[in-house]
Structure 1
């Protein structure tokens, strides 16, 4: 019974991964028609706020995780003065999804590799950046932000991935003691169009 339960939970993760892969594929179509790298040679910390936002959006379009990490820090500076700004928080969440390695992990994950593939993928992730994704999405949501389905799903997957990182693997997670985190992940996933209730009960 317990074995079957864990099998279902892994199925949840693969379901979410598959959905985000489609979302990322669609959103990345514009990347190949736009080259922001010249603009990204600048130091974002020294730019005025409007240009920091432009830098951040160009970093997202570039798909470069290091550029997104720098852009995230620049947007985080702006959030010091406007912590509840929904648009800035959603921009920060998107940057963190890229800078954390989550987007790259999802796009390159070997779904047929099973549990070993999932656990190996965890090694490429930045836990601190992952943890920031649901925080920014929550702030945006609480301040009437227009949170997209992919942003909700990213937040849910980030929570699940961090639980696995802290435990040393998906198979090492004590899912019963992680009910609060899983409830939040389920909530995000449901808002993103994925019903995890049938898997987690």
Structure 2
């Protein structure tokens, strides 16, 4: 199954303006509309492809998200197992979540130090000596994660997930119209994003950790 490039579907380059994307979309819809191609069995499928591409690229914010999540020009022509495509997307969302929380915590050094003090107490109580025990750090991260997530961060996450799901549907990782499968896919991607956020918490703490 070849990877789908929404820019190629619309026949445009990556540096095209938002207005020109709209023009290209309208031109393609006019050319390929089933009413203009009554004997072309592929016209309906082509229109679905065009609409899927424009649904993402036609919105500037979704377009920026797509550009960030896309896996690169060099791999688009390959035939790839859907499970590998999903795994790659999960890695990207994990990294997005990680970087987001790490950046937020780097502006809260006093909070990091207080968290390290609490984690040190738990670690010593658990094993008798101080060390950076990831399982304890991540458990604490899961407890307090919501305290670091702002409404803007949450909105950004939702945009990322929406585009990621659309990309996975276009790659046939889950069937279009399979509402249960799409919900399960979104839940899986959201959980991976959350794990990335927790990892960002742990990474920020590890940066300032000093063993005692």
TM-score by length of 1: 0.32
Structure number with the bigger relative contact order (C-alpha 8 A, sep ≥ 6) is 2
Q: Flag the structure with larger Rg.
A: 2
